[in-house]
Structure 1
Amino acid sequence: MAVAILSVWATHCTPENSPVLESAPETSLVRESAPEASSVHKSAPGASPVHESAPVPLEMAASAAEPPEVATSPSELIVCLVMAKKVIHELTVYYVTATEAVHELTNCPVMTKEAFYEHTACHAVAVASVWSGLRAITNYKIPSSCTEANQRLANDLNEFYCRFETPNTHSDHLSTQPLTPPAIPLSTPPALQICEDDVRQVFRKNKRRKAPGPDGVTPACLQTCADQLAPIFSQIFNRSLELCEVPSCFKRSTIITIPKKPKITGLNDYRPVALTSVVMKSFEKLVLAYLKDITGPLLDPLQFAYRANRSVDDAINMGLHFILQHLDKTGTYVRILFVDFSSAFNTIIPTVLQTKLTQLSVPSSICQWITSFLTDRQQLVRLGKFMSNSCSTNTGAPQGCVLSPLLFSLYTNDCTSKDPFVKLLKFADDTTLIGLIQDGDESAYRQEVEQLAVWCSLNNLELNTLKTVEMIVDFRRNPPALPPLTIMNSTVAAVESFRFLGTTISQDLKWDNHIDSIVKKAQQRLYFLRQLRKFNLPQELLKQFYSAVIESVLCTSITVWFGSATKSDIRRLQRTVRTAERIIGTPLPTLQELYTSRVRKRAQKITLDPSHPSYPIFELLPSGRRFRAANTRTVRHKNSFFPQAIYLMNS
């Protein structure tokens, strides 16, 4: 079984295109390791290979899967692995057969949908099967990735995603970086050592329903064969870390496009998501945990993405806290710049990232390994049945990889504001600059905007001035007309409202527009709940559907806006809940109850995390039992998250 998994890479990774196989035969380490590996297998046939000596090269590690006969050359190994390719095909067929009932149910007509209820009531089917049936009953369909797929569009998209391959010629910093980093000696011990138990656990945690990568290996295969594959891949992973090289078969990706909006007007309206090797994703998870331990304390506290105990709500609430606290003072206003980057993940320069990682105390061997991971990557775009031509890229981090989000956060970690009256919030590539203006002095704000534009130029990030907008929040009695903001000789458009991290924020800091959109969306989904009720499904299933499909819409970022919502808006929201109650026939939690419980839960997590940027807001009184109440002058500040959270924590 283990050889069957490895056989997939044998068809893609030959001695000519594998960086590890190219360099391994030329080193003395390979010549010395081969006899040791062979002797281990001969002394303990049939046992799990446990090696305490130096790591063996990839071809010898792969050959350890078959103890009776050890391949003596990469070509012989490839021949053996290709012969075992049928095994993985049979295993894949097995898993397809195991889920055949679910697929048949999804494609069945209405008559079989009624049979689905009987099957669910009589047999405790898996949750995934239940939701497959619910989608079939409601006739709910996920929008397709592309409605007009063709070969030319696939090739155009692949070229479009590789358009940042040439670095920014205006960046002196980039021009001084070597295209290929200097190799470190092979004898340098890796900073990270991976044991068999770690590999076994990460294989077992793979989700079976996830799509496989270009190599065709499914997560179910790794999960089932974790015990057999862990000894082999632990050697392969450690050898990769020792050589600071990622095999080319691990770096291949298939790009799946997802529309950013309903109506497509250009290539930029498709979001690229990379399907990569499941084995490589497991490898990345182990490296990710190591990187988080090293870089966690050094990350920008106002970067809220991909960090423990951070959320979208935290980013919005923190920004609103800066704004509302400043507006409580007289003679103040706020300018908010919502920055848009063009294909931010695709613009990362690996050598620049390597320099930044070194400054964050990441070991040089890991830096070299990450550079290898991001360079010489082969990718193609799949649109339905059409596949584009393969393209090689040395720029960017694939969206969909485990390491990419953290690498982008580390890449932008030094993008911060130096002025205390200008706050720079980051949530992955969503960057927001908040200028707290006092007495009309905007010099600090405009200087920070210029510094941001310079930083983007130096780091190959393309600032999209057409989509970058500004919103002014000014509650002064007779505010004067304010001069527009310009970036790189382009005037930034001023807007009255903006959808920030999924929440619509208006310049009057009211939530009418946001509540209108979520009420409309929730009422549309009530149709699906009515369809389910027609099939006499049990109340428990209807409640689960309501919680996942309707309540999730009503409660999105509820800690941000519910406290400041008007009574009429709350009545509109609660009317949707009452309609769902009548359809289901059972009471449901009110939005006020959900808001209160979520605020308490969020506040408790913040008070237990001293590294959280809002931790100082919750100041304990000398008694140690209550928190100091927030000093607020206006109702809009009093009803915001932090004052309400402190009030609830004290009550």
Structure 2
Amino acid sequence: MTPNSFKTRVLLQDLTHHERSKLLVVSINARSLINKINYLKSIMIITKPSVVLITETWCKPTILDDTINIDNYTLFRTDRQNTSGGGTIIYTRSDLKACRFNNEQLDDTGDSTWVSIAIGHQKYLLVGCIYRPPNVDSIYDKNLSTLFFLASQQPHVSKLIGGDFNLPNIDWISPHTSQRFSKLIEMIEFSGWIQQVQIPTRGNNTLDLLFTINFNPTSVNVSSEFHNSDHKVVISTFNYQPTNNLNPNGLKKYKYRRYTNETWKHIEALIRCIRWDSYLTTGNIDTAISVFYSNLISCLDCIAPYVERVSDINSARSHIPKCLRRKLRHLRLRYYKHHDITALYNVFKIVENLDSAQLKYLLNMETTALNSINPISSMIKLFKSRLDSKSNKPPTLFITKDGIDDDPASISEQFSSYFSSCCSTEPGATANPISMMTSKCLSTVEFTSTNIKRAIATLKKSNDNGPDGIPASLMKYSGKDLPFLCLKLFNLSMDKGHYPAIWKTSFITPRFKSGSRNVIENYRPINTTSVLSRIMEKVIHKQLSSFLLSENLINPSQHGFMEKRSCATCHLKFFDYITLGRDKGFSTIVLYFDFSKAFDCVPHNLLLSKLHSHGIRNPLLSWFKSFLTGRRQIVRISSSYSKPVNVSREVVQGSVVGPLLFLPFINDVCQQFVHGKIFLFADDLKVAYLFPPTTNENTITKIIQKEIDDLSEWTKIWHLPLNVHKSGYISTGRRWNLSLHLCEVQIKPLSVVQDLGLRYTDSINFSEHVAFQASKARKSTGFIRKNFLDLHSKILLYTKCVRPILDYGCLHYSNCRRLDLMKIERIQRTFTKSLLGDYSTQTYRQRCDKLKLEPLWLRRLKLNLTLMYRLISGATYASTSQPILYTSTHNLRNKENTITIQRCRTQLRQSFITVRYATL
């Protein structure tokens, strides 16, 4: 079909013969949208429908949103993840207030997209686009009938579902159908849905359907077939009350500082010109803070004064140049006046030329990033900007107990109320006295210009103003004098044991966790704190962690938030213990516990008691008390801010020193386990038990249950609740059927464990991990290949964004099957072949050499040998059960670097890294 074909003329006439005040909904079966996107753009530019539902898009996650975006429309898409075909899209015109409606139950049907649209004051329409594949089984239809029922129960005033359902031989006027579809039809009618399409849409069957509740159409028309599709287009119109979803005047004024590359060139000279006499001579911390901030703000006012900007927030942002937008308006007017089909042809040509210009623009962006001062950072930033629309940004509509809320100010307040309600009551002191863990103490922190300079150097360049109005870039580019000025402020703060009040306010950004994105409870708070506070905390963090480690105050099982410790060291120590136990003939049982909102529920008075028992004394202890108490938080969503709310409990996760303070608080949880070996990464807890296979099951249950009860009692004393539903256990060697309970809830056995990003089964098999990482890497490589044009860009992004995915957990790949290792290697094999052409006659090793890439097997070998060296030299923290170095008393040459070769009974132990690599 060409833009000037007869069917196109019919489609255009049907789309334009309706009242402009009505809501125009168009349902299309596309059968590969990417090949017809320019045709669809041309049709929509001319006719401007309100909502477009598209099924069988055949889009994959690797296809960029920009490729199928249409100017003046908002895109909502759902793609099939692992198979081809299917896929749904909803386009909503930008003058409609719409957002994706996320619901776990509704999203269970893979080929469906759900959107909420405001159709009046506090009135919302739920729009669903569904594709039901042909020849599906009865289970699929049962799930589909459940979906219709669930959709009818949503809090929206009106509902609309459209799409291709592939339900042939049904008379929807008086539904008589076979037993095959009877239950589905009954549930649709029971839920109150009315099917509005009565004319066949493909052959003699009505396959493209439109269901509504409390939203009756004024007209329903079946037009001609869409471009190269055998399904006809369904066009329907509805009465609705337009909503002025933004500022009634369409204008929003706000002030901001305009930072450029030239902004920071003169900041050092400005700081030197300001008189600092009153600041340097005062001994009052509040006066020093006032003068310090007053001087820095005056510098910012000189180099980047506030600029008032007026934004027309009612107009949608267009990516089409102004001259072409004017020409498109003229062509659209020409068609409406004269029904000139050549107008569509000219629009089609403009859209095609825009695609060519877009490709040149994208290539130029890649070239600019590669030629920048920091090409790696620039390319990664570009990579993230081109990712699909799945982001952590909250939607504009939220479901609350009072219904649906779309007011940004109200949503910010509800987020603030929810975050502050998490364990909001400060409990009294514990009844149990806390014993001193050391006779030594740390009472203060030494600040020098050198360690302050190092802390500033670690800051990332950012022009975003913090809660105190100071961006990180100011601190980073202020020259040599600022560290000396900070030295005065930090010493005053520490000597007085006083944390300045201006630093106690944090911006909170909601970050999505899981579940429905429209439910406030499915978000966690991310803190943004003052940059000056973070600099001071970096110095404190280093000296505090050094003290805790030098005095052995942190349990060796803890691997979080400390130097030389990481997820990798926790995994290494854990699997060393498990494999050694299995080699000695023991059966193993591993318990996994999950603390519920651990960092948000730490009582400050109990934490300060723990710090005192770990040797922290005044004025540092007073500084920590001031740091923790009197804090306020403000939830920030786009340009909306909530009112400040006081926080009585929480270890601030956005701070530098906050997570480190959590370690002494949870440290004595290790004392609750006598028989079990504990492994900790911050609040992630697992406990391993070794038992002879002949041990009585009741005996094992009693031993483990006793320690679980002790853990439960400890959590009550220290007000750190466990999430019982996320706890579980695995058993290896012998499958134990244990009846274990946590808080009167039975702990379930697990077949697959996700432990700090590593997936493995109860037989310590990593095939699940390999499959997951390979799938994730495959999607990323596909995205890079399809959305980046320059060869060097693709290689750089592969090495920085894809290869780390394949490297994660590679120290355990020696225990993987050859088939799994080939699956990992195949990712790079396919990628190198795609870069050099599928018909390249070069071998894999030759392709790697040409592209300057190492084969993944060689890279793993080097990484694991490096780890062995770090273990031997003490450069990493991972004490193993067996000594790595040979300790013979014989006078051998180079005996200090001789590695012990362990004798193993099992293949599981033989494959462990310290055993296997000792024989290389």
* TM-score for the superposition, normalised by structure 1: 0.78
Using a 3 Å threshold, how does the CA distance of structure 1 residues 147 and 46 change in structure 2: closer, same or farther?
closer
Superposed displacement of residue 88, structure 1: 6.3
- Residues 579-588 or 212-221, more deviating: 579-588
For residue 627 of structure 1, give the secondary structure of its aligned residue in structure 2. Answer: coil
Q: Specify the SS of the correspondent of 2:897.
A: coil
Instruction: Write out per-residue CA displacement over residues 505-555 of structure 1, whole angstroms, 9 at most, x where no aligned residue.
Output: 21121122222211211111121232256x2x244x322211112211111
Q: Report 1:77-88 matches (<5 A).
A: 86-87=301-302
Aligned positions of 1:570-609 closer than 5 A: 570-585=821-836, 586-587=847-848, 588-609=853-874
Task: Give unpaired runs (5+ residues) of structure 1.
Answer: 1-7, 9-43, 66-76, 94-103, 177-188
Q: Provide the secondary structure at the position in 2 that maps to 1:510.
A: coil
Report the counterpart of residue 414 of structure 1 in structure 2: 668
Question: Kindly tell me: are residues 486 and 323 of structure 1, through their superposed partners in 2, closer, same or farther at Cα, counting changes over 3 Å?
Answer: same
Tell me if structure 1 keeps the 8 A contact 2:652–2:659. Answer: no
Aligned counterpart in structure 2 of residue 246 of structure 1, from 496, 499, 520: 499
Instruction: Flag the 1:563–1:611 CA change in 2: closer, same or farther, 3 A.
Output: closer
Question: What corresponds to 1:569 in structure 2?
Answer: 820
Q: 1:148: how far off?
A: 3.5
The question of whether the paired residues in 2 share the 8 Å contact of 1:526 and 1:550 is answered with yes
Q: Show the counterpart of 1:303.
A: 558
Counterpart residue identity of residue 393, structure 2: S
Structure 2: distance between partners of 1:131 and 1:612: 30
Corresponding position: 1:484 with 2:739: yes
Q: Distance in 2 between matches of 1:190 and 1:511?
A: 47
**Counterpart pick for 2:811 among 541, 559, 566:** 559
Contact 1:190 1:242 in 2 (8 A): no
Is 1:452–2:711 an aligned residue pair?
yes
| Superposed CA offset, 1:418-477 (max 9, x none) | 65641111111111122223323424332222222122111110111122222222x23x
Amino acid at match of 2:898: R
Q: Which residue of 2 aligns with 1:619?
A: 885
State the partner residue of 2:285: 58
Q: 1:50 to 1:171 in 2, by over 3 A?
A: closer
Partner of 1:98: none
Amino acid at match of 1:606: L
Kept in 2, the 8 Å contact 1:217–1:277? The answer is yes
Which shifted more, 118-127 or 375-384?
118-127
CA distance in 2 between counterparts of 1:140 and 1:513 reads: 26
Give the 3 Å change call, closer, same or farther, for CA 527–392 of structure 1 in structure 2: same
Give the aligned partner of residue 161 of structure 1: 419
**1:260-292, CA deviations, whole angstroms, 9 ceiling, x for partnerless residues?**
236448544322110000010001111111211
Amino acid at match of 1:156: Q
Shift of 1:577: 1.3
Query: Hey, what's the Cα distance between the residues in 1 that align with 2:307 and 2:708?
Result: 53
Which amino acid in 2 is paired with 1:172?
A
> CA, structure 1 residues 122+490, in 2 after alignment: closer, same or farther (shift >3 Å)?
closer
1:287-326 mapped onto 2 (5 Å cutoff):
287-297=540-550, 298-326=553-581
Secondary structure of the structure 2 residue equivalent to 1:412: helix
**Bigger CA drift: 508-517 or 395-404?**
508-517
**Letter of the 1:286 counterpart:** V
For 2:413, give the aligned amino acid: N
Which residues of 2 match residues 196-595 of structure 1 at below 5 A? 196-209=449-462, 211-261=464-514, 263-264=516-517, 266-297=519-550, 298-330=553-585, 332-417=586-671, 421-438=675-692, 439-440=695-696, 441-442=699-700, 443-473=702-732, 475-476=733-734, 479=735, 482-531=737-786, 535=789, 537-539=790-792, 541-560=793-812, 562-585=813-836, 586-587=847-848, 588-595=853-860
Q: Are the equivalent residues in 1 in contact too, given 2:461–2:472 (CA < 8 A)?
A: yes
One-letter code of the match for 1:236? Answer: L
How far the C-alpha of 1:63 sits from its partner, in A, is 7.2
Which of 129, 132, 135 aligns to 2:378? It is 129
Q: What is the alpha-carbon distance in structure 1 between the residues aligned to residue 828 and residue 875 of structure 2? A: 37
Give the secondary-structure state (helix, strand or coil) at the position aligned to 1:414. helix
Aligned partners of 1:130 and 1:45: how far apart in 2? 38
| Paired residues of 1:465 and 1:487 also in contact (CA < 8 A) | yes
Contact map agreement 1:301 1:611 (CA 8 A) in 2: no
Per the alignment, do residues 634 and 395 of structure 1 end up closer, same or farther by CA in structure 2, a change over 3 Å counting? same
Does the C-alpha gap of structure 1 residues 377 and 139 become closer, same or farther in structure 2, counting only changes over 3 Å?
closer
Tell me whether 84-93 or 163-172 shows the greater mean CA deviation.
84-93
| Larger-Rg structure | 2
Aligned length: 558
Contact 1:258 1:271 survives alignment (8 Å):
yes
Moved over 6 A (4+): 44-53, 80-85
Q: Partner residue of 1:642?
A: 914
Which residue identity does 1:237 align to in structure 2? F
Task: Tell me the CA shift for residue 173 of structure 1.
Answer: 4.7
Distance 1:456 1:242 in 2: 35
Aligned 8 A contact 1:315 1:425 in 2 = yes
Higher helix share: 1
CA distance in structure 1 between the partners assigned to 2:916 and 2:463 by the alignment = 40
Query: Distance between the aligned counterparts of 1:57 and 1:569, measured in 2?
Result: 64
Structure 2 letter corresponding to 1:444: I
Query: Quick check: 1:57–1:236 contact (8 Å CA) kept in 2?
Result: no
CA distance in 2 between counterparts of 1:616 and 1:336 reads 17
Q: Alpha carbons of 1:565 and 1:62: their partners in 2 closer, same or farther (altered >3 Å)?
A: closer
How far apart, CA to CA, are the structure 2 residues paired with 1:84 and 1:592?
Answer: 54
Structure 1 residues 563 and 121, CA gap change in structure 2 (3 angstroms): closer
Match of 1:113 in 2: 362
Change beyond 3 A, Cα 1:269–1:505 = farther
1:135/1:463 CA distance change after superposition, 3 Å: closer
SS state of the match for residue 450, structure 1?
A: helix
1:606 & 1:380 partners in 2: Cα distance? 45
Query: Percent of counterpart pairs with the same letter?
Result: 18
Counterpart of 2:726 in 1: which secondary structure?
coil
Between Structure 1 and Structure 2, the one with more strand by share is 2
For 1:646, the aligned partner's letter is A
The answer to whether the Cα contact below 8 Å between 2:423 and 2:649 also exists between their aligned partners in 1 is yes
* Aligned counterparts of 2:494 and 2:372: Cα–Cα separation in 1: 48
Q: CA deviation at 1:396?
A: 1.1
Tell me how far 1:489 sits from its aligned partner. 1.5
The TM-score, its normalising length taken from structure 2, stands at: 0.56
Q: How many angstroms apart in 2 are the aligned matches of 1:126 and 1:610?
A: 30
What is the rounded CA distance, in whole Å, between the counterparts of 1:122 and 1:237 in structure 2?
40
Deviates more, 1:481-490 or 1:337-346: 481-490
Q: CA offset at residue 253 of structure 1?
A: 0.3
CA contact (8 A) 1:50 1:231 kept: no
> 3-state SS of the aligned residue for 1:409?
helix
Partner-residue secondary structure (3-state), 1:230: helix
1:386, CA displacement in angstroms? 3.0
